[in-house]
Amino acid sequence: MRRPLIVGNWKMNKTASEAAAFIRDLRERVPASPHAEVVLAPPFTAIESARNALGPSSYFSLGAQNVHWETHGAFTGEVSAPMLCDLGCRYVIVGHSERRALFGERDEHIQMKVRAALRHGLSPILCVGESLVHREAGRTESVVTAQLSGTLEGLTTQDLATVTIAYEPVWAIGTGRAATTEQAVTVHRSIRLFMETGWDSKTASAIRILYGGSVTPQNIESLLASDSIDGALVGGACLDPDSFATIIEFAQTARA
């Protein structure tokens, strides 16, 4: 059974001191549970204060929102995997649609980022998803499949053991218009089938596939009711401790 995973993608929100206050609040609201895993992905500048606020044996894991593929060097403004590991990160989000659309990231960059993360023991959370134009043209599956093959090609089954896939339809992100559970399930099934065809059924059934795009305390229960959906990548609703705690609570009971 795949353990549900909830990832809070803070995007460019919260200073280091706001992060510490938020985490103290969240910790009081969320009891530890073996039935779901929770990752917080603050901006780079707040990772250290988040780590301090979490304390040494926290229920929450830390993640970053991006990583460069090289370990060090003349890459102004970038942050490497060893730097993130040193700050206590265990996860990193790669290929988010905002990185693709606003910062020109293409599959070949994302593939290098996935590989860099794996080399250094960080678990990549790989984002894929179609635009509204692609969906309306009936191209959802082919777009998502092309993104997967462009970023995961050549990885071993061992590599894939620590990869998480997040299906995030671009039209659902930050719009308040989440995909329906049926729409998400259809794509999640095609992703699992792609993994089975490209690797094997063991890999396909073990990999976690999250849904992301306007996840809220109101729609999380329905999404997690499907055994095709292994958790959520949450943007807007993760910034409010009450909403995020509610989402986590649903995940903790979904497969308990």
Q: Verify whether residue 108 is a known catalytic residue.
A: no
User: Which residue of the set 96, 109, 120, 188 is catalytic?
Assistant: 96
Would you say 95 or 204 has its CB closer to ligand PGA?
95
User: Which residue of the set 98, 105, 130, 168 is catalytic?
Assistant: 168
Closest to 252 (Cα-Cα) out of 36, 44, 62 = 36
Is position 105 an interface residue for ligand PGA (rule: CB under 6 A)?
A: no
Burial of 221 (0-12, 13-18, 19+ CB in 10 A): middle
Which residues, 6 or more positions from 35, have their beta carbon under 8 angstroms from its beta carbon?
A: 3, 4, 251, 252, 253, 254, 255, 256
Out of 233, 245, 247, 248, point to the residue binding ligand PGA (CB under 6 A).
233
Grouping H, G, I as helix, E, B as strand and the rest as coil, residue 152 is helix
Scan for tokens 């995030």, then name that residue.
168
Report in angstroms how near the CB of residue 220 gets to ligand PGA at its nearest. Answer: 11
Number of residues that bind ligand PGA (CB under 6 A): 13
Is position 43 an interface residue for ligand PGA (rule: CB under 6 A)?
A: no
Cα–Cα distance measured from residue 219 to residue 241, given in angstroms and rounded to the nearest whole number: 17
Out of 212, 217, 231, 241, point to the residue binding ligand PGA (CB under 6 A).
212
- Spell 127-148 as b/e; 16+ CB within 10 A means b: bbbbbeebbeeeebbebbbebb
Select the span of 56-64, 81-89, 203-211, 231-239 touching ligand PGA (CB under 6 A). 231-239
Cα–Cα distance measured from residue 10 to residue 247, given in angstroms and rounded to the nearest whole number: 15
Residue 41 has, within 13 A of its CA and on its CB side, a CA count of 26
**x/- contact string, 235-254, with ligand PGA (CB under 6 A)?**
xxx-----------------
Out of 49, 140, 214, 246, point to the residue binding ligand PGA (CB under 6 A).
214
Which residues, 6 or more positions from 18, have their beta carbon under 8 angstroms from its beta carbon?
A: 46
Select the span of 128-136, 144-152, 190-198, 228-236 touching ligand PGA (CB under 6 A). 228-236
Q: Verify whether residue 48 is a known catalytic residue.
A: no
List binders of ligand PGA among 152-211 (CB under 6 A).
168, 173-174
Is position 215 an interface residue for ligand PGA (rule: CB under 6 A)?
A: yes
Closest residue to ligand PGA using C-beta atoms: 235
Cα–Cα distance measured from residue 184 to residue 59, given in angstroms and rounded to the nearest whole number: 28
Is position 234 an interface residue for ligand PGA (rule: CB under 6 A)?
A: yes
Are the C-beta atoms of 78 and 119 separated by less than 8 Å? no
List binders of ligand PGA among 46-65 (CB under 6 A).
none
Summarize as ranges the residues that interact with ligand PGA (CB under 6 A). Answer: 9, 168, 173-174, 212-215, 233-237
Write out the catalytic residue numbers.
Answer: 96, 168
